[in-house]
Amino acid sequence: MKNRTVPFLLLRAMSAINLNAQPSGFLLSDAIPANFVHHYYEAYCGMPTAEKLSTFYADEAVIYDPTYDWVGKSKVDIFRNFDANNSKNENEWHIHQEIRQGNTLVTEGLLKAKYGGIAYEMRFVNIFHFEKGLIIK
């Protein structure tokens, strides 16, 4: 990982996480699959689909997307309109760093994408919480 700087947003995100907390009943390898980052972002490349991504989520998963101020309250809710909402997306994810602690994973990097053929780039920080190898939050 070439980029060793920690962006301000990542520091803010990490300050909200208790890094000393240990997941109850799970070892790191049980909570976060060792190859998760590679497989998840590989599935999210190109035009993402519910079929490719939903397997990473627990049925009771909850997500909050601050970019669009949207909350998905279950796996069904998260992926209900996912394909229609992403039908014009082409994503290329560049992961600059990942931080693992207990059942929490933070990824930071650059998204190079096209929406309806129009190119854009944006930095991102994703915070995942896992249980039994699946995203729960």
Q: Is the pTM of this model over 0.85?
A: no
- pLDDT computed for residue 30 by the predictor: 57
Mean pLDDT of the chain: 84
CATH number at residue 131: 3.10.450.50
In a domain, 22, yes or no: no
Residue 114's φ and ψ, nearest 5 degrees, are: -130, 140
In a domain, 24, yes or no: no
Identify the segments of the chain with pLDDT beneath 70: 1-30
For the segment 17-45, what is each residue's pLDDT rounded down to a tens digit? 444 344 444 444 458 998 999 999 999 99
List the one residue out of 79, 70, 66 whose CA is nearest residue 125: 66
Q: Which residue's entry shows tokens 């920080």?
A: 125
Largest CA distance in the chain: 46
Domains of the chain: total: 1
